[in-house]
Amino acid sequence: MLERRLLEYGLSHPHERPSGEIRRSQVVTTYGAGAMVDLTEKSVLVLGTDRWRYGPGESLAVIREPRLCRVLAPRMKKLGVELNPKAPFRAPPTTTLDAPSRAQGIEVMEFPSWFVCQNPDCRALFRPHAHTLPKSGQLEHDACRPRQGKPWKCVPVRFVATCRRGHLEEFPWMYFVHDGRACSAPKLTLREGVSGNLGEIRVECVCKASRSLADALLEPRNPTCGGGRPWLGSQGVEECEHRLRLLVRTATNTYFSHCESALSI
Alpha helices in the chain (DSSP H): 26-29, 66-78, 173-177
Do 67 and 145 share a structural domain? no
Domain carrying residue 70: 4-110
246 phi/psi in degrees, rounded to 5:
-75, 140
Neighbours of 261 (CB within 10 A): 9
Strands 188-191 and 124-126 turn out to be antiparallel
Do 150 and 78 share a structural domain? no
**CA pseudo-torsion sign 135, 138, 142, 146:** negative
Do 220 and 176 share a structural domain? yes
Average pLDDT score over residue span 187-208: 90
d(CA 76, CA 63): 17
Do 193 and 176 share a structural domain? yes
pLDDT at 22 over 90: no
59 domain residue, yes or no: yes
pTM of the model: 0.83
Do 68 and 51 share a structural domain? yes
Average pLDDT score over residue span 211-221: 91
d(CA 210, CA 163): 24
Strands 105-110 and 52-53 turn out to be antiparallel
pLDDT at 62 over 70: yes
Per residue in 66-78, pLDDT (tens digit) is 889 988 999 989 9
Do 202 and 131 share a structural domain? yes
Per residue in 89-102, pLDDT (tens digit) is 888 887 766 666 66
Predicted confidence at residue 132, as pLDDT, reads 65
Do 179 and 130 share a structural domain? yes
Per residue in 151-164, pLDDT (tens digit) is 788 999 999 999 99
Contact (CB, 8 A) for 218 and 179: no
Predicted confidence at residue 6, as pLDDT, reads 43
Strands 4-8 and 52-53 turn out to be unpaired
pLDDT at 58 over 80: no
Confidence tier at 59 by pLDDT (50, 70, 90): low
Per residue in 105-128, pLDDT (tens digit) is 888 899 999 999 999 999 999 998
d(CA 90, CA 113): 31
Confidence tier at 9 by pLDDT (50, 70, 90): very low
Do 240 and 132 share a structural domain? yes
217 domain residue, yes or no: yes
DSSP 85: T
